[in-house]
Structure 1
Amino acid sequence: MRFRFVAGAVAVLAASAVVGALATSADAAATVGISVNAGTSLGTVPSSGVGLNTGVGDDRMGDAKVTSLMKAAGVRQLRYPGGSGADDFHWKTHTMGNGGWIVPNTDFDSFMATAKKVGAQPILTANYGSGTPQEAADWVKYANVDKGYGVKYWEIGNEVYGNGHYGNGKGWETDNHADKSPKEYGKNLVAYSKAMKAVDPKVKIGAVLTTPGFWPDAEKAPGDSADWNNTVLSIAGRSIDFVIVHWYPGGTTTADLLNTPSRIAGVRSSLRSLIAKYTGSRAASVEIAVTETDGVGSPALTSQAAALFAPDTYMTWFEQGATHVDWWNLHNGTDQAPTTVHGQTDYQDGGILSAGTCAGGKCQPRRDTPFPTYWGIRSLTALAKPGDTMVKSSSGNSSVTVHAVRNSTGGLNVMLTNKSPQNAAQVSLSYAGFTPAAGAVTTVSYAKGDTALTTAKRGTAAAQTLPPYSITTLQLKPVSGTAGADKPTPAPTPTAVTPVVSAPGTTGTRAQGEIGAPVGQPTPSSTSGDLASTGASNAVTYSALGGLLVIAGGGVLVLRGRRRRGLHGR
């Protein structure tokens, strides 16, 4: 779970608190106890962990202003060619098999130039839906032999389970194979891996899995002997190097969204169990990559709640051992009218930078203006650098989350997120394995309405006041003479698998990637339509954000590739 409790943690002074609820005015004045055990390591921050999706419909991704913003945000990985469009994209001709829109300056070499400017590692999605193992192998040859790009990570397909196999009509994911079963994907995954590694044995091959707890996890279509994950890994487990999931937890309210990172530990545990079962002695080296995530399915996509969700999600996945987390999307656009979320306009756009879209008679800010989600991600630069050591921490109240990192100079950075949109939070902090220097501390914060990160001297290492709906990172120096006194030791590995338990109150919310239906719902028929509880309804709503961007007259961006809202299978 996100809150890792340390022995001796400071108790919450509030008389009571409801788990998962934000602080109310009645307990707003109560002090939240934060404990940091700087002597217990949760692993190191991955070198290319903070990632971002880019697409062949985004003609601005290589602009100097855009690459500068990405670099400043600490983006270390760029995913290409973009969502569902990847299963229609032919890299050599820079075309879509379905005739989809592609804009100039987004071909593979242009993308690699962008990645170089940003200082980011590429992760590429090979075309499984309308491509072949040979086409993918040719791409490896061009990238790594002919051009010397050294592209390491290759996904085989996007969300292949969305191809209609589970009764959702034609699905949303292109798959031209006559057999759309997990057995066929597993067999072809082996063929892709063999062909690509014959060209460059150093490449890492990723398998598309359903996220545990999200539809269609645990589903079996007619003729299947097992679900998607068990079938695919039983066939291809020894031919892959990482597994891929998409994390779209959604939530009916912003409070729901902000509590979803607490469910990541269960998802990771289920994935690790599958990896151990099917990859043998290589299990420890098989990585987990979260190649898409954002707040879709919740009320917040660009407003402050989404900004708070972002760094908490990245850090929780890193603490659980994920090596990559890629936010959807750089630019996205929308055809949905803006909404108001806690007094702030939410443009219902999955991008971190404005696409300049107009909808419902209201236009977004000027193109490339950073949304709050951008600043939420950029807040991570104040907390950690690749290679820093994540350490154990816990909060006495779910209204405040905490993540802590020991840096290379012996200092300790502590990120605190106040999830209450109305009330400031008083926090008291205690430390084990680290003694902070006395006096006011440097803080880097992002609060509702801010247009930049703010650095100031504020509070002490023991006590802070957190503004409503804010991210505050304390940058602590050790007391003189103690910088290297307590080297963090690894946290003990759990001996039992933690099952994925669906959270209450999420029936019918959006599930992973481009489709949403809770685990436990009846298999959708052809006319019915990332965590949910069991549901009773036969009507399954499939919804999506993202895919390819298409530029229409006047520079307005609209969605293609994935559906924004509506029923698939209709």
Structure 2
Amino acid sequence: MKQITMKTTMAVLFASSLVIVSCSGKDDDKKGGGGTDENEVPATIGFFQDDWTEKRLSVPVSFTEVPAITDQPDHVVAVYPGEVITKIPNYLFGENANLTTTQYVTEPELVSNINDLDPSIIRYPGGSNSNLFFWNAADGERPADVPATLFSGSGASFTPQYYFGKSDKPETFSVDNYYSLLSQTSSKGMITVNYSYARYSTAPNPVAAAAHLAADWVRYDNGRTKYWEIGNENYGNWQAGYQINTADNKDGQPATISADVYGSHVKVFVDSMRKAATEIGKSIYIGAVLMEGEYATSTDVERQWNVKTIQKVHNLVDFYSTHNYYTPFNTNSNSSYILYTVDYSTKVMQEYINQSFKSAGVSAKPIALSQFNINAVGAGQAPSFVNGMHSVMTQCEMLKNKLAVAARWTLTDTWDNGDSQGMFSMGDEPANPDKWTPRPVFYYQHFFRKILGDRMVKASTTSPTNDIAYYATTYSKRDVGMVIVNKQDNNRTIKIDLKNWGSANKVFWYTLQGGGDNGEFSRKVIVNGEGPEGDGGGPTNFKTIAPYTINGQSEILVKLPPRGMIFMGISCEAKP
């Protein structure tokens, strides 16, 4: 289901590279001579770092040797492995499970592909559908206090599509099958309860009815899920319950939602859900909804939402959830624009939310980006390799800005005339790949996860430019991982300069780039020269592709192809 998030940002062209370095620093280098104390957990990450673990870089046993690079570098990127920005939470690799496509666990190939992806968290029932979802009802069993018609944001009556957690229809996703998917993929859950029911219910006490429904889900869940959100984008006029029919409402709610209304209702939800958790002897974390930014199109409800919501619920909730779709809604954005939005919009989002905390007079709490993608349409942007690049950069920028959770929308989605945001094909697109074929974003995520360390560290360049971007991580204070992004449509040679670290003795990398189809939005991804057998996706042998290496080269040099991404490793001599 497309998420209608209004965004206006800017962009420039890029390609990316990831570099990994295996080295050893000084044992007493806690702050790295200028970095922050890594044991000081940022407030915007908080408890999401509780189960952080150290990682070790897995060095391949075989390589494909390529000629030495003799070009002069266009840019020199300095890496400071001892200067830690933040430890990396385990929830950077989240996904959303679309409620309206499949039962998931009835599709073995899809489950296998999700296991290959290895998501750390899977959110459900996801998106706007969560505000129309009744988790404990069979298909078509609409509760008696749920009206057959609702009001749209403009106040017009319409007939909504309600969803039911006990439905066995093949095109939906039941609650029990969700739990089965979590088990089969060793993923943690994040559940979004139906807040809007508190608005459109015709019961004598609609808020109590909705809070009771949420609490009963906590009881049924019985500790399987730690993270719970109250509603989805409820500030938006595209959400159920934004406008209600006051003639049917029994507790005097206003026709249009406000942060005050939402905040007062959240108190009831939190009380009921925590009581339920206590009854079953489990601990849960509960989040409230915030906006990611303010725009020229923002309504009064949206402009007032964050500060008033925070003031109402800050002492009650554990974290806040926000969404970002980076590019303007329903706009045919080009690749330059899409790729520029990542660092710009993530920084603006972080600053906006932090300012919301300050304006509300409180300290920050953990932030979960529980949905992200791009809203670009019209040229096949979402299922292209460009979106794969965008996804990795978004996660890196999340770390730079010290945010906790990133959950991409979505695992599955219909072709939608080329605007599909799904990671896996449903077999309904032109030049049809097989059903559940991974799209390019899968491969970018796979190779990123293959090399990401456990700490993000400082990286910089003496020649700042929009042509490239770069990110560095380390493994247990020894190995180093980097993402370097070439934003231009030509080759770039980059030199990596490791500061106060060991000398390199081995360099290896994977180069990812688009194919020659569909203009600037190729549906293919080429990994070290190997591409898909069909018209979309990537190489089927992606797990066994040998990384490139260069023997006998004294400097760490990498060549970035036009809009390419390199995931590279460097093994280093330990310091004496």
TM over 0.5: yes
Partners of 1:100 and 1:312 in 2: CA distance: 35
Q: How does 1:538-557 map to 2 (within 5 A)?
A: none
Q: How does 1:174-185 map to 2 (within 5 A)?
A: 174-175=241-242, 176=244, 178-179=253-254, 180-185=257-262
| Aligned-pair CA distance for 1:93 | 1.1
What is the match of residue 300 of structure 2? 220
* Higher relative contact order (Cα pairs below 8 Å, separated by 6+ residues): 2
| Aligned-pair CA distance for 1:174 | 4.2
Partners of 1:260 and 1:143 in 2: CA distance: 38
What is the match of residue 259 of structure 1? 340
Instruction: Say if 2:209 is the partner of 1:135.
Output: no
What is the match of residue 157 of structure 1? 231
Unmatched 5+ residue regions in structure 2?
Answer: 1-9, 16-70, 143-159, 199-209, 516-525, 527-537
Residues 74, 434 of structure 1: CA spacing in aligned structure 2 closer, same or farther, 3 A cutoff?
farther
Matched to 2:496, the amino acid is L
1:447 partner SS: strand
1:240 partner SS: coil
| Aligned-pair CA distance for 1:41 | 0.8
1:268 is matched with which residue: 330, 350, 356? 350
The size of the alignment, in residue pairs, is: 426
The 8 Å contact of residues 379 and 471 in structure 1, kept in 2 or not, is answered as no
Partners of 1:471 and 1:279 in 2: CA distance: 42
Deviations 1:16-36 (A, max 9, x none): xx994559xxxx986122221
Higher Rg of the two aligned structures: 2
Partners of 2:361 and 2:275 in 1: CA distance: 20
The alignment's TM-score, normalised by the length of structure 1, stands at 0.69
What is the match of residue 323 of structure 1? 404
Instruction: Say if 2:420 is the partner of 1:353.
Output: no
Residues 364, 329 of structure 1: CA spacing in aligned structure 2 closer, same or farther, 3 A cutoff?
farther
1:437 is matched with which residue: 504, 511, 514? 504
Partners of 1:33 and 1:293 in 2: CA distance: 31
Partners of 1:423 and 1:368 in 2: CA distance: 33
What is the match of residue 248 of structure 1? 325
Matched to 1:152, the amino acid is K
Partners of 1:87 and 1:363 in 2: CA distance: 36
Residues 203, 241 of structure 1: CA spacing in aligned structure 2 closer, same or farther, 3 A cutoff?
same
Deviations 1:370-395 (A, max 9, x none): 1111112222212325xx01111235
2:271 partner SS: helix
| Aligned-pair CA distance for 1:234 | 1.2
Residues 417, 61 of structure 1: CA spacing in aligned structure 2 closer, same or farther, 3 A cutoff?
farther
The 8 Å contact of residues 383 and 421 in structure 2, kept in 1 or not, is answered as yes
- Percent of aligned positions that are identical: 20
| Aligned-pair CA distance for 1:127 | 0.2
What is the match of residue 572 of structure 2? 478
What is the match of residue 179 of structure 2? 112
What is the match of residue 310 of structure 2? 233
1:405 is matched with which residue: 470, 473, 477? 473
| Aligned-pair CA distance for 1:95 | 4.7
Q: How does 1:508-547 map to 2 (within 5 A)?
A: none
What is the match of residue 369 of structure 2? 290
Partners of 1:243 and 1:183 in 2: CA distance: 16
Runs of 4+ in 1 over 6 A off after TM superposition: none
| Aligned-pair CA distance for 1:308 | 0.8
What is the match of residue 31 of structure 1? 74
| Aligned-pair CA distance for 1:297 | 2.4
Matched to 1:137, the amino acid is A
| Aligned-pair CA distance for 1:173 | 3.4
The alignment's TM-score, normalised by the length of structure 2, stands at 0.69
1:379 partner SS: helix
| Aligned-pair CA distance for 1:356 | 1.7
What is the match of residue 565 of structure 1? none
Partners of 1:404 and 1:94 in 2: CA distance: 49
Deviations 1:243-267 (A, max 9, x none): 1111111163211111112221232
Greater Cα offset, 80-89 or 388-397: 388-397
The 8 Å contact of residues 213 and 267 in structure 1, kept in 2 or not, is answered as no
| Aligned-pair CA distance for 1:118 | 1.4
Partners of 2:11 and 2:387 in 1: CA distance: 20
Partners of 1:390 and 1:74 in 2: CA distance: 20
Residues 54, 465 of structure 1: CA spacing in aligned structure 2 closer, same or farther, 3 A cutoff?
same
Deviations 1:116-138 (A, max 9, x none): 21121100000011251111011
Residues 404, 22 of structure 1: CA spacing in aligned structure 2 closer, same or farther, 3 A cutoff?
closer
What is the match of residue 446 of structure 1? 512
Residues 254, 21 of structure 1: CA spacing in aligned structure 2 closer, same or farther, 3 A cutoff?
closer
What is the match of residue 73 of structure 1? 117
| Aligned-pair CA distance for 1:114 | 0.4
| Aligned-pair CA distance for 1:409 | 6.9
Greater Cα offset, 122-131 or 53-62: 53-62
Partners of 1:381 and 1:414 in 2: CA distance: 12
The 8 Å contact of residues 48 and 120 in structure 1, kept in 2 or not, is answered as no
2:547 partner SS: strand
What is the match of residue 457 of structure 1? 548
Residues 40, 116 of structure 1: CA spacing in aligned structure 2 closer, same or farther, 3 A cutoff?
same
| Aligned-pair CA distance for 1:353 | 0.6
Residues 152, 19 of structure 1: CA spacing in aligned structure 2 closer, same or farther, 3 A cutoff?
closer
Deviations 1:38-95 (A, max 9, x none): 1111111111221111022232522332222222223111010121110000001155
The 8 Å contact of residues 443 and 457 in structure 1, kept in 2 or not, is answered as yes
Greater Cα offset, 411-420 or 208-217: 208-217
Partners of 2:510 and 2:138 in 1: CA distance: 42
Partners of 2:13 and 2:420 in 1: CA distance: 26
What is the match of residue 61 of structure 1? 104
Residues 192, 279 of structure 1: CA spacing in aligned structure 2 closer, same or farther, 3 A cutoff?
farther
Partners of 2:291 and 2:323 in 1: CA distance: 8
Unmatched 5+ residue regions in structure 1?
Answer: 1-17, 165-170, 337-346, 483-570
Partners of 1:140 and 1:172 in 2: CA distance: 23
Q: How does 1:378-417 map to 2 (within 5 A)?
A: 378-384=446-452, 388-395=454-461, 396-408=464-476, 410-417=478-485
Partners of 1:19 and 1:431 in 2: CA distance: 30
